[in-house]
Amino acid sequence: MRMRHRFLGYDEGRQSLGIFDCDGPGSHWSLSLAELPLARDLQLISPDRALVGFDRGYFELELSTGRPEKIVERWKGVSSVRRLAGGGTLLTGVDLDGGGGITVLSLDDKDKVVATARREGDYVRLLRPTCEGTWLIGCDDHFLETGSDLREQRRLAAPGFRHAWMAHRYEDGRSLVSGGYGAFLALFDRDGNCIQTFGGRGQVPEEVSPNFYASFELLPDGGILAANWQGHGPDNGGKGRQLVEFASDGTYRGSWSDPQRISSLQGILLL
């Protein structure tokens, strides 16, 4: 199947951001992240603006030009950011304020810290609010579902999770997650039981070379588009397929790569 997606991509291997079109040659622009490293989390906040989390905080990115706007950098080790409906922002990382542990800072619309939540832990990746008002947080070999106080309500885990990355809660209570180095995506029922894994070795063509499923996006028809990260450094573009697409039931639908321009996709945001 020929992919026709246009997306903002974080190439972790080359530490750059760019807009790419699967159906056309070249990228619209490319931005070096030498001064804004580790842009792990992406969120569309207006038609021409994305929120980008990076190691020291976040910035807002003008999508038409690739120009960073409103850079807020006061921390170290930020792994996830989310803009909330009221204009506030959640920042997640390990030991963001000197208090240790997994830390979530709530910022108001003026970027003032108005609340802090903390729990034990030394690894965290993306945080996603759910429609039930809870948080789903990637914590290495499992996902935690917590309240805003970070008290555990449920744990989602499957054999093979390592550096588990991102979760999405469907309205029916199911959860879709990416397993990091487990190199598969997993679906959990509303009770927290793993009911399906897909996208792993033997479930996709050999040339896909599943290595590390990181961020993913849901398509309008319920399909799933996932970044298949291939490793650190600038020369990983030929190791596997960088973008992998599945139907809503986990059936493989196709893949895409641009090894001349992309080394290793970790973050994607459909446009």
pLDDT of 27: 64
pLDDT digits (tens, 9 = 90+) for 79-129: 999 999 999 999 999 999 999 999 999 999 999 999 999 999 999 999 999
Task: Give the CA count within 13 Å in the CB-facing half-sphere of 122.
Answer: 0
- Evaluate whether 91 touches 72 at the Cβ level (below 8 Å): no
Question: CB atoms < 10 A from the CB of 221, how many?
Answer: 7
Q: Quick one: pLDDT band at residue 18, thresholds 50, 70, 90?
A: very high
pLDDT digits (tens, 9 = 90+) for 122-174: 999 999 999 999 999 999 999 999 999 999 999 999 999 999 999 999 999 99
- Evaluate whether 27 touches 10 at the Cβ level (below 8 Å): no
For residues 265 and 212, what is the distance between their CA atoms, to the nearest angstrom? 10
pLDDT of 63: 97
SS percent in the chain: helix, strand, coil, step 5? 0, 50, 50
pLDDT digits (tens, 9 = 90+) for 212-261: 999 999 999 999 999 999 999 999 999 999 999 999 999 999 999 999 99
- The closest of 219, 243, 246 to 229, measured between CA atoms, is 243
- Which residue type is seen at 200? G
Q: Quick one: pLDDT band at residue 2, thresholds 50, 70, 90?
A: confident
Three-state DSSP class for residue 207: helix
Q: Which residues sit opposite 37 in a β-bridge?
A: none
Q: Above 70 in pLDDT, residue 265?
A: yes
Q: How far is CA 101 from CA 123, 129, 220, 223, 231, in A?
A: 9, 20, 37, 35, 27
pTM: 0.96
pLDDT of 26: 65
What's the order of all strands across the beta sheet hosting 243-246?
A: 213-218, 224-228, 243-246, 252-256
Which one is the CATH code of 6-270: 3.40.50.2300, 3.40.50.10480, 2.130.10.10, 3.30.410.40? 2.130.10.10
Q: Which residues sit opposite 185 in a β-bridge?
A: 178, 198
